[in-house]
Structure 1
Amino acid sequence: MKTPVAFFIFNRPDTTEKVFQAIRQAQPPQLLVVADGPRPDQPEDVRDCAAARSIIEQVDWDCQVMKNYADVNLGCGRRVASGLDWVFDTVDRAIILEDDCLPHPSFFRYCEELLEKYQDDERIMTILGTIGLGRWKPDSQSYHFSYWPSPVWGWASWSRAWRYYDHNIKAWAIPAVKRKIRAFMPEDALFMGMVWRFEQAYQQKVDTWDWSWYFAILSHSGLAIVPSVNLVSNLGFGPKATHTKSRRQRVVGRTYSLNFPLTHPKEVAIDRDYHTEITKVTWSQKILAQLKAKLRPYKRYFLKFLD
């Protein structure tokens, strides 16, 4: 393996240890570790953050370890965003894992090969490790292209793509940008889901970084590579999580082996059938109705399909 791995940790030594062991098996030549500091109102964080950081000292392969540790708590949004700024200022590409994203061994080779293959293709902005369907056309191709860049539970990208990142997504205020994203995302449900995210991020009502990353991708008509099988298991569902407190088990707990050599799509083209299927799985009629109600105050933009 030749590709750097960026590892984001905080206060969960139990899941950190599991993900670290997967990284240890892959033996990347560079490990960039980003850690948030303890929260002032949570005394146990001092102990737990220290325990998580101590796991990094177990590196026992030929590896350059670089650390970006915060002394104070920056929060999920600012810490990950600033950490990724540092990562992509340091290296030109990276595989990114958080402390609750447990990759299948084939995840690393999949990312590395596609980072190399598409390094100069400006259309491709991110390589995902998670597919919301568990499996999708695995017998015909190893991956497909999507305008749905979610979720970022184990992913990879290049500094050339990250340079578009703006945590405050100031460009969301520009009507032409909204129209551009709408034209790029014809699926009503998927588009509405992103509009809701972008409104929350723009108004700074949520402490997260990934919604701003989705905006950077979609506002530049960027594509995501999605594997044909789920390659990352999310260990973070539960009461100690920041955003995923429910114990949803659907496809997030199971991974599959990806076969090599990779079978590449014939062309770089959006898989529309995948978007139709992911809409059925992700958005029930009840959720869609709730989403429309939430978005109705923003109808003045151009959401005519809310009528």
Structure 2
Amino acid sequence: MGELNSNYQTKSAVLFVIFNRPDTTVRVFEQIRAVKPKRLYIAADAPRPEIEGEDLICAETRAIINAIDWDCELKTLFKDKNVGCREGVSSAVTWFFENEEEGIILEDDCLPAISFFNFCDTLLERYRDDTRIRHITGCNLQQGKKWGNSTYYFSNMTHVWGWASWKRVWKDYDKNLNKYNNDEVEEQLRNIFEDPLVVDTWKHIFEEVKAGKINAWGYQLDFANFFNNGLTIIPNENMISNIGFDSRATHTLDENSIYANMPIHEIDEITNPVFILPEKQADLLVLNRDFNIEEKRRRQNAFRKKVKRWFKSVIKRAATFLA
């Protein structure tokens, strides 16, 4: 059990990934500022030359470093040429773990609770040498449902809206998924997820990412954890609010999403689960919603019924013809 308080100073190094949203950047920065990390890394992609005025907005966003008013070691990685979401974030995290053995990662639209930092500090230390645990997130997508009586539970899923991890984990990150082929992926996914529709959806995502059709960096972390039998720590109370659901976002465009601007909760103490096993039903709750599994199942069943009726009609016509 670890006591949490509002005057906490984080022990861990923090990576802050920013780009072109000074308004959300300031809000997240103020939470970082409140916990005064001794080592702060700030990474920023360069403006896109085809977007008029983005250079000015990016410069305004980068100027956040001028608001650092506590004693800390600051390192910056400011790109001179735009590299996009996949390369921009993944290269920033790689840079971070080239300098740190463990730490906390926040993007410019992931607003953390203050207690998120102590939550990460405490569990980074607790599970530092436990290779079963690969990821700590502050994001809870369960919409109020809790799993067990502890502060957190374990999951096979990887959420990257405010997270922490170790260098030992990031070394397995494969940006282009070169380590895996399609046949292996389908077989191994069946060892994790029982529902064929979930497996098919993950396989499709894998193929799209590998083909470069999805400009994302987070799915690769999912697959690295899946194929290394890794567990994620997920708090039973949501501690991260994604405040970036709008037209400026790369992926989170729907301002009416149930995941947009979720309320954040401060936790007063940490109680640890007795058993280190994934909550499969918690994962399925999120996957069924995000992958629209029930609708896919209805369409699949309707198609099967249609084929069955067609087959019966063919047999009936054949029997009439042969009579």
Do the two structures share a fold, i.e. TM-score over 0.5? Answer: yes
Cα-Cα RMSD: 2.0
Which residue in the other structure is 2:124 paired with? 115
**Structure 2 SS opposite 1:183:** coil
Q: 1:142 to 1:191 in 2, by over 3 A?
A: farther
Residue type at the aligned position of 2:233: I
Pairing 1:255–2:260 present:
no
Which residue in the other structure is 2:179 paired with? 171
CA distance in 2, matches of 1:290, 1:243: 27
CA distance in 1, matches of 2:208, 2:54: 28
**Aligned pair count?**
291
Mapped contact 1:128–1:224 kept (Cα < 8 A): yes
Which range is displaced more, 223-232 or 173-182?
Answer: 173-182
TM-score of the aligned structures, taking structure 2 as reference length: 0.84
**Structure 2 SS opposite 1:172:** coil
Counterpart among 101, 106, 109 of residue 100 in structure 1: 109
> 1:279: how far off?
3.8
CA distance in 2, matches of 1:276, 1:111: 25
> 1:290: how far off?
10
CA distance in 1, matches of 2:137, 2:17: 16
Residue type at the aligned position of 2:187: R
Mapped contact 1:134–1:229 kept (Cα < 8 A): no
Which residue in the other structure is 2:221 paired with? 213
Q: 1:67 to 1:44 in 2, by over 3 A?
A: same
Residue type at the aligned position of 2:76: K
Counterpart among 116, 128, 133 of residue 124 in structure 1: 133
1:176-195 to structure 2, matched below 5 A, reads: 176-195=184-203
Identity %: 35
> 1:223: how far off?
1.1
Structure 2 unpaired stretches of 5+: 1-9, 301-323
Pairing 1:277–2:285 present:
yes
> 1:285: how far off?
4.8
Counterpart among 67, 73, 79 of residue 70 in structure 1: 79
Q: Which has the larger radius of gyration?
A: 2
> 1:195: how far off?
1.8
**Structure 2 SS opposite 1:131:** coil
Q: 1:172 to 1:288 in 2, by over 3 A?
A: farther
Which residue in the other structure is 1:23 paired with? 32
Q: 1:193 to 1:223 in 2, by over 3 A?
A: farther
1:133-152 to structure 2, matched below 5 A, reads: 133-137=142-146, 140-149=149-158, 151-152=159-160
After superposition, the C-alpha distances for 1:143-194 in whole angstroms (9 at most, x for unaligned) are 1011111x31111110000000010101231633442232022244543332
After superposition, the C-alpha distances for 1:111-136 in whole angstroms (9 at most, x for unaligned) are 11111111111111111111111333
Q: 1:280 to 1:74 in 2, by over 3 A?
A: closer
CA distance in 1, matches of 2:288, 2:93: 33
CA distance in 2, matches of 1:19, 1:214: 25
TM-score of the aligned structures, taking structure 1 as reference length: 0.89
> 1:254: how far off?
2.5
Pairing 1:37–2:46 present:
yes
